[in-house]
Amino acid sequence: MKYIKNTGRYAIAFPITKNNREINIELDKRRLYTDTGNIATTGITPVEEEDLAELKKIKRFNNMVESGELEILEESEVRTPDENKIKALEDKNKELEQKLREAENADVKKIEEEKKALADENASLRAQLEKLAKGGKNKDKADEEAEKADEKADENKADTEGF
């Protein structure tokens, strides 16, 4: 199988006879979608060896090949995705996915450690609070009397400061 690349400005068709029937070999040009820039047609048409032999009998076809409007390409010349590049990108993708999973696991472990540390700190603060609360119930009478005396002094001070 051969390929014909149409580098001209227009699509073109050549009539050939195959099995006693006339068929057209259409050689489309490269077309792009103007709104997105995507390739609509590549301008490369696969042609069987027998059809190419019939095309070479046409003078106009030969003139277009000589002028460079049409190029006859081998299968190896037609661009195909490089399998090595695809494999390398797939490997890199797997490596990055693994790093992402490790980073997520590390974050989870770090959060769990912080959570445990906060829980421990919370427990120790609760213990201190309970200890203080028990101490507040068993206040000495002397402390209560001192507080009452302070309150009376504040009241007397307010009474003597009047207008």
161 in any annotated domain: no
The three-state DSSP-derived secondary structure of 58-116 is CHHHHHHHHHCCEEEECCCCCCCCCHHHHHHHHHHHHHHHHHHHHHHHHHHHHHHHHHH
Query: What pLDDT tens digit does each residue of the chain (163 aa) get?
Result: 888 999 888 999 999 988 889 999 899 888 889 898 888 888 888 898 888 898 999 999 999 999 999 888 887 777 666 777 888 889 999 999 999 888 888 777 888 888 899 999 888 888 888 888 887 555 555 566 666 666 666 666 555 555 4
89 in any annotated domain: no
Query: 27, exposed or middle or buried, with CB in 10 Å at 0-12, 13-18, 19+?
Result: buried
pTM of the model: 0.48
Q: Which domain holds residue 67?
A: 2-73
Q: How many domains does the chain contain in total?
A: 1
58 in any annotated domain: yes
Q: Amino acid letter at 151?
A: E
147 in any annotated domain: no
